[in-house]
């Protein structure tokens, strides 16, 4: 067994690193980025300054933020040949697969981002990725909707420019309600980091081989895609739609979620760390009411979600297992109200989590962490001699 006698499936009780970026208290439902509460940042910060805070450790001064913004804008072009890779995908391709592939393909057009040892080289790779990632994310949606690509407008803010690249119409002037940009900005802040979750651990372990930032983030996107992780926000809406189309019978789905023979899980519920309310879910639930109210949208799916939450919070199966709504439970309801297609929900999560992934990758590299290489408890065959095929 190589000296290892116990294993920790899913690393439920394993600390993988020391980090100064994000603090979580699962019992109390506390989440802080570099010591600032998520509640304050969601109210008072914007996404770009939150990205700066996560990556560099301090809220930026006006000058620092202006330089960060202009450095990013100067890198917002994406090589024209990248379109050939996008064109190669069928329209049916899932945007997360497109985004992961295009992020990896970016390396070929930005070779200086691979072997980065100095902080300056890391900074250059970081601003390139922060600039080009929203372009690729928007391209994934344009592909899905068979629309011509939009190259953005550097006179707009980071989030508004992303929204324009997603929603501009070829023959119309682009306009958008400020509330919509504010809602997306808040959602991206709430998704920005979450210590050593599955996709961040993926970014760290791929980055620990010095494969480079873009390769590490491409791997993180793939990990986030799974329905047990970021993919849950798409699965939640699909579940709520199924309940609505099934006459709104939440009891039937609660029973399915509790039936051990049934693989169905109540998507958007439960969390490895939070054994109390996910603080992000609380903020997003309030924001969902606000955004739908501002847009004058009555979405029956929101009422079903609230009904499901109420039932679960009173159900011993869920209460005993401390299963509460998590970040993915209400976010899709806002994305839907903003006309974001359901297959793009996890792309929205990936854009939000990008600064957190980058911050964690940078910390891992600056701390000169060793390559990730866990051991195992061997349970296979003992030594045995080869047999010729005639003897098998």
Site residues, ligand SDX (CB under 6 A): 10, 194, 197, 228-230, 232, 257, 265-273, 321, 323, 326-328
Q: How far is the CB of 326 from ligand SDX (least distance, A)?
A: 4
Q: How far is the CB of 45 from ligand SDX (least distance, A)?
A: 18
CA–CA separation, 110 vs 114, rounded Å? 8
CA–CA separation, 343 vs 355, rounded Å? 22
Three-state secondary structure call for residue 22? strand
Nearer to ligand SDX, 72 or 305 (CB): 305
Of 69, 185, 278, 328, the active-site residue reads: 328
Question: Greatest CA span in the chain, whole angstroms?
Answer: 77
CA–CA separation, 264 vs 141, rounded Å? 29
What Å distances lie between residue 317 and 101, 171, 270, 322, CA to CA? Answer: 40, 54, 12, 9
271 given a catalytic annotation: yes
Q: How far is the CB of 275 from ligand SDX (least distance, A)?
A: 10
Nearer to ligand SDX, 82 or 266 (CB): 266
Q: How far is the CB of 194 from ligand SDX (least distance, A)?
A: 3
First to last CA, the chain: 28
Q: Say how many C-beta atoms besides its own lie within 10 A of residue 44's C-beta.
A: 10
Q: How far is the CB of 381 from ligand SDX (least distance, A)?
A: 30
Residue nearest to ligand SDX (CB): 270
194 given a catalytic annotation: no
Of 271, 303, 315, 339, the active-site residue reads: 271
Nearer to ligand SDX, 186 or 194 (CB): 194
Own/partner pairs for 120-126, CB < 8 Å, 24+ apart?
122/213, 122/362, 122/365, 122/366, 125/212, 125/213, 125/214, 126/55, 126/213, 126/358, 126/362
Are 134 and 162 in contact, with CB atoms under 8 Å apart?
yes
Nearer to ligand SDX, 221 or 257 (CB): 257
Task: Report the interhelical angle of 178-190 vs 158-167 (nearest 10°).
Answer: 110
Three-state secondary structure call for residue 253? helix
Nearer to ligand SDX, 268 or 332 (CB): 268
Tell me which residues are annotated as active site. 271, 328
């Amino acid at each position: 067994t190589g000296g290892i006698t116990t294993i920790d499936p899913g690393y439920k009780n394993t600390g993988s690193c020391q980090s100064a970026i994000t603090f979580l208290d699962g019992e109390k439902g506390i989440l802080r980025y570099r010591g600032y509460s998520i509640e304050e940042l969601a109210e008072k910060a914007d996404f770009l300054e939150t990205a700066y805070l996560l990556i560099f450790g301090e809220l930026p001064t006006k000058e620092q933020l202006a330089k960060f913004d202009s450095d990013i804008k100067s890198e917002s072009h994406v090589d024209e040949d990248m379109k050939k890779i996008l064109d190669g995908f069928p329209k049916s391709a899932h945007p997360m697969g497109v985004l992961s592939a295009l992020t990896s393909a970016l390396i070929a057009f930005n070779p200086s981002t691979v072997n980065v040892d100095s902080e300056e080289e890391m900074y250059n790779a970081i601003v390139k990725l922060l600039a080009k990632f929203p372009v690729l994310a928007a391209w994934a949606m344009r592909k899905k909707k068979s629309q011509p690509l939009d190259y953005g407008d550097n006179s707009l803010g980071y989030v508004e420019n992303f929204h324009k690249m997603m929603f501009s119409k070829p023959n119309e002037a682009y306009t958008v309600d400020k509330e919509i940009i504010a809602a997306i900005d808040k959602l991206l802040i709430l998704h920005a980091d979450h210590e050593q979750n599955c996709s961040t651990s993926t970014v760290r372990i791929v980055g620990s081989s010095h494969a480079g930032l873009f390769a590490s983030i491409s791997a993180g996107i793939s990990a986030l895609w799974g329905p047990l992780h970021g993919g849950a926000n798409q699965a939640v809406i699909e579940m709520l739609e199924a309940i609505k189309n099934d006459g709104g019978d939440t009891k039937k789905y609660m029973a399915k979620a509790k039936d051990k023979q049934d693989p169905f899980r109540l998507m958007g519920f439960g969390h490895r760390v939070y054994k109390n309310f996910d603080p992000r879910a609380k903020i997003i639930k309030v924001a969902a009411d606000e955004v739908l109210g501002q847009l004058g949208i009555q979405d029956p799916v929101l009422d079903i979600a609230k009904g499901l939450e109420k039932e679960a919070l009173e159900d011993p199966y869920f209460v005993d297992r401390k299963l509460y709504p998590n970040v993915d439970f209400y976010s899709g309801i806002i994305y839907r109200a903003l006309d974001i297609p359901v297959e793009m929900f996890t792309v929205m999560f990936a854009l939000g989590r990008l600064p957190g992934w980058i911050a964690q990758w940078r910390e891992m590299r600056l701390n000169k962490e060793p390559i990730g290489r866990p051991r195992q408890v061997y349970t296979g065959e003992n030594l045995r001699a080869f047999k010729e095929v005639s003897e098998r």
